[in-house]
Amino acid sequence: MKITPYSLGALLLAPLALLAPSSAAAHADPAPAAAHHRHRHGAAEISTFLTAFYGAHGPSPRDREQRVSQQLKEKQAHIPYVDVLLCAQNEPQHIAIGPVTVAQTAGVGWATVTTLWDEGITDTFTAYVRLDSHPIVLDDVICAG
């Protein structure tokens, strides 16, 4: 008899089924640990989120309301004269998202965001996303200057 990971799991669960009441055995979940595993965002997913969130000129009012952490909303409330999501006071001409870095042990991913302004001036800031946020939201922004 060839033993595969699936048959090994079945072999390990079979003795437990004998000990359980018959109604519980009929509903036994062979992989309960998988059901409790939380999704963690990867670099590609974070990149897609940030690109959609920032768009070409900045986040929409809807995204500002629904796709931003409470912490970042409170930060904005304390600094009303600057748009903390863009580290600026105006709307940029263009926005580009750099490569995403993911730190699994820290539970966070981030990317440098570059904004293009009048007269070819550029600025950068760092946008952070918690890997376990559900749904994915912008968690913090750190301005470069």
* C-alpha torsion 85→86→87→88, nearest 10: -130
- Quick one: pLDDT at residue 2? 42
Q: Write out pLDDT tens, residues 102-129.
A: 999 999 999 999 999 998 999 999 999 9
98 neighbors 113 (Cβ within 8 angstroms) = yes
Q: Write out pLDDT tens, residues 55-96.
A: 999 999 999 999 999 999 999 999 999 999 999 999 999 999
Strand partners, 83: 88
- Quick one: pLDDT at residue 13? 38
How many DSSP H helices and E strands does the chain contain?
6, 4
Distance CA 84, CA 54 (A): 13
* φ, ψ of residue 116 in degrees (nearest 5): -110, 130
Distance CA 131, CA 137 (A): 10
Distance of CA 57 to the CA centre of its chain: 21
> Between the CA of residue 140 and those of 52, 82, 125, what are the distances in Å?
16, 15, 11
Domains belonging to the chain, first-starting first, are 5-36 (no CATH), 43-143 (3.10.450.50)
